[in-house]
Amino acid sequence: MEFRQTPKTGLMEIQMERFDETGSSRRADQLAIEEPLEIRLEWMTPEGLKNQKSISITLRTPGDDFALALGFLVTEGLVPASKPFSEHFASIGYCGPPLAPLGHSNIVKLVYKNPQVLELGSMERHFYVNSSCGVCGKASIDALRARPNFETASVAERSISRRMILELPQRLRAAQEVFESTGGLHASALFDSRGSLLDLKEDVGRHNALDKVVGAAYERGVLPLSDSILMLSGRISFELVQKASQAGIPVIAALGAPSSLALELAIDRKMTLIGFIREGRFNVYHDPGRLL
C-alpha cells in the first residue's frame, strides 16, 4: 500500500482497491492519522534538581497537541484550573528529535513553575487508568472520579431552544473537516446557548477530542465553560461526562446514548444530559429544566 502523510490536516492519503459487483478499481482515499503522544512534566525540586515524569501516553490524531496535553491535566483534575495557565507553567513544547513526516516529536513537555501543586500519587493513578485495557472493582471506580475543578454552573434555566438542539448534529457535521474526508474521527464541539459554534476539535479518540477543546479554552483563560453546550459525535461515556464537568460544562448533547455510569455522574454533578438527537426528536436523560 502506498501512502504519504499530511499531518497538518490529520489525514493520510493512500491508494486502495475498491471492489463492487462490476469488479475492482484502484482509487485514492484518505485515512485519519493515528500516532502516540506522550505527556511529560518537568519541575525543579527545592534542592535545585530537575525532575521529569511521564504521566500519559495516548493514541491521537496529530494537531492541537499542546491543547490536548493541557486539557488532559485539567480534565483529570491534575492542575487547579481556576487559575490561569501562566501561573502554573513556565513553558510547553515538543521534547526530543523531530520525527518525519510530522516535523516534531511525539512528546509534549510542560515545565511547572511550582512543584508544590503536583500530586504525584494522583498522576500515577491517572496514567494507569488511561493506559490500561480495563479497570474493575469499586476501588478503581472510586479512583476514576476526579475532584471537581468547578461547581457546575448552570446555563440559565429554560434558555436553550429545542429547535436549536435538533440543529446541532447538522452544525457539528458541517464543521467536521477531517471526518468529511475519512469518516474515521470523533468530534467534540462547544456551542453557546444560541447555537453558535465556539470551538470544535477532532481526534481518533473521543476523550482526546474533548481534552483538546478544554485545553484550548484553558490556554485562552476562559474556564469554566459555564455558558456552553458540549456536542459529541458519538455516545456519552462516564469519562466524557467527568471531563466536561471538570471544565464546568453544564449541558452535554450527543448523537448517541449515555451509559448508566455517565448518567449517574451527570446527576451527581447537576448536568443536563441529552442524547439520540435525530429526525426531529431527542431524549433528555437528566435535568430538562434548562430547555425552553
What local confidence, expressed as pLDDT, does residue 137 receive? 38
- Over residues 82-126, the pLDDT tens digits come to 888 888 899 999 998 888 767 788 999 999 887 665 555 555 555
pLDDT band at 187 (very low <50, low <70, confident <90, very high): very high
What local confidence, expressed as pLDDT, does residue 72 receive? 93
Q: How confident is the model over 211-223, as a mean pLDDT?
A: 95
From 133, 134, 279, 281, the catalytic residue: 133
- Over residues 34-70, the pLDDT tens digits come to 889 999 999 887 787 888 888 889 899 888 999 999 9
* DSSP per-residue codes, the chain: --EEEEGGGTEEEEEEEEEETTEEEEEEEEEE--EEEEEEEEEE-TTS-EEEEEEEEEEE-SSSHHHHHHHHHHHTT-S-TTS-HHHHEEEEEE-SS-BTTTTB-SEEEEEES-GGG--HHHHHHHHHHHHSS---SHHHHHHH-PPPSS--PPPPTT-B-HHHHHHHHHHHHHH-HHHHHHS--EEEEEEETT--EEEEEEESSHHHHHHHHHHHHHHHT----TTEEEEESS-B-HHHHHHHHHTT--EEEESSPBPHHHHHHHHHTT-EEEEEEETTEEEEEE-GGGB-
What local confidence, expressed as pLDDT, does residue 76 receive? 86
- Could you tell me which residue, 154 or 29, shows the higher pLDDT? 29
| pTM for the predicted model, two decimal places | 0.85
Task: Identify whether 136 is a catalytic site residue.
Answer: no
Q: How confident is the model over 146-167, as a mean pLDDT?
A: 79
Nearest CA to 8 out of 62, 69, 65 is that of: 62
Nearest CA to 35 out of 106, 110, 99 is that of: 106
Q: What is the C-alpha separation between 89 and 48, in angstroms, rounded? A: 17
What are the sequence ranges of the domains in the chain?
Answer: 35-144, 162-290
CATH number for region 162-290: 3.40.140.10
